[in-house]
């Protein structure tokens, strides 16, 4: 039975949920339970992929921020903020996405992020590693530009 549910969950979460419902209607609780467990695992895998993608995006912009201070932009700061928010949302929705789990794929994400950043910068990054605090806690904001004073009418 497990293979049936694994194959179905890989194919479609929706179809898996419908098949679980059918098993419940038929009174096959053991089959329905197996389907629900596989669906939960499939959804967790999808959320992990989403967190990895956002973490790479986040790290990539932090690497660029640290490597090219003269190129910093509000767009980079906004991307950092947005990626942090996306990761926080995924973690809120799926409690299994703990710090420990994320740290398990941290180095692989960092290496991908560095390659992407170096390709965009067309040169080497000056960052060899990033800490949790640098990625999730440190502020990445540009100072407010000085405001121009309006000219007084003569």
Token couple for 21: 């419902």
- How far is residue 90's CA from residue 44's CA, in Å, rounded to a whole number? 10
Question: How high is the pLDDT of residue 153?
Answer: 61
pLDDT tens sequence across 20-45: 999 999 999 999 999 999 999 898 89
pLDDT tens sequence across 28-87: 999 999 999 999 989 889 999 999 999 999 999 999 999 999 999 999 999 999 999 999
Question: Could you please report the per-residue DSSP string of 29-82?
Answer: HHHHHHHHHHHHHHHHHHHHHHHHHHHHHHHHHHHHHHH-GGG--HHHHHHHHH
- Tell whether the model's pLDDT for residue 15 goes beyond 50: yes
- How far is residue 116's CA from residue 57's CA, in Å, rounded to a whole number? 9
In the chain, where are the structural domains located?
2-136
- How far is residue 46's CA from residue 40's CA, in Å, rounded to a whole number? 10
Q: What is the mean pLDDT of residues 120-128?
A: 96
Question: How high is the pLDDT of residue 151?
Answer: 65
Q: Note if the pTM is more than 0.75.
A: yes
């Amino acid at each position: 039975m497990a293979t049936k549910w694994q194959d179905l969950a890989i194919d479609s979460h929706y179809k898996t949920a419908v098949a679980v419902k059918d098993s419940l209607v038929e009174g096959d609780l053991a089959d329905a339970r197996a389907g629900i467990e596989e669906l939960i695992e499939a959804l967790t895998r999808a959320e992990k992929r989403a967190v990895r993608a956002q973490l790479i995006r986040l790290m990539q912009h932090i690497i660029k921020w640290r490597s090219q201070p003269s190129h910093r932009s509000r767009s980079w700061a906004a991307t950092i903020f947005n990626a942090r928010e996306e990761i926080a949302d995924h973690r809120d929705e799926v409690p299994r996405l703990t710090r420990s789990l994320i740290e398990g794929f941290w180095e692989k994400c960092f290496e991908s992020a560095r390659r992407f950043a170096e390709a965009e910068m067309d040169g080497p990054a000056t960052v060899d590693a990033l800490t949790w605090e640098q990625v999730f806690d440190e502020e990445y904001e540009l100072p407010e530009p000085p405001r121009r004073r309006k000219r007084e009418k003569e």
